[in-house]
Structure 1
């Protein structure tokens, strides 16, 4: 059978939980163990079912999500490629650049230059970092406020 397979409904709930977690926490270190734990599944079963359902391994999914966010930052801010790399959760500039080129078809620098040539205004990087810090604090406070059952 070619293409992603469909998982049973109850399994999809667990897979979506992990995918949604990856979408929200893409900046953080996310490995197979962490995502499988969020899904409540063994890591090898999770790996197989996630890949079969979404057509990408969990690692490839997280990497793709990070590159998508990097594209947003490179288009709309004055951050350097290195700042964007760390802001989206990549550990090394080399892995970021090669994965970016693989997905987008050009290097992050080329992408940024091409978008800068359009003359669109850029959000100062300091605002981006302040907003990210405020967003992180708000989510931490929200977690602390949850009443224990």
Structure 2
């Protein structure tokens, strides 16, 4: 009996010592605010953290963290309740819970390459194709 009582007391002490509830204070401060002209509904962030997609009632605001401003506005014709960016960053998934529908928007980044005073061969408005080999070693 004494052995069982000793084991029970030891187990209770072990639980209180090693699994005691720890309360920590949280310090916080607001780093930045983004002013919007519409009511925000949901937010998602790109995998690299450089772009914030803000779902509003009538549009998606694309916020660049490096420029610290809204750089693009994607208009919406329907009402959505949630937004998620795909892991590859090329699609936005919009949820319409009221109509049991998910819409997918493809994101394509277009970069303007300034040629400046570079030497040009051929017509200035000739189409140009740039190929990237991502598996090049």
Computing the radius of gyration over CA atoms, which structure comes out larger, 1 or 2? 2
Normalising by structure 1, report the TM-score. Answer: 0.20
Structure with higher strand content: 2
Structure with higher helix content: 1
Which fold has the larger relative contact order, with Cα–Cα distance below 8 Å and residues 6 or more apart in sequence?
1
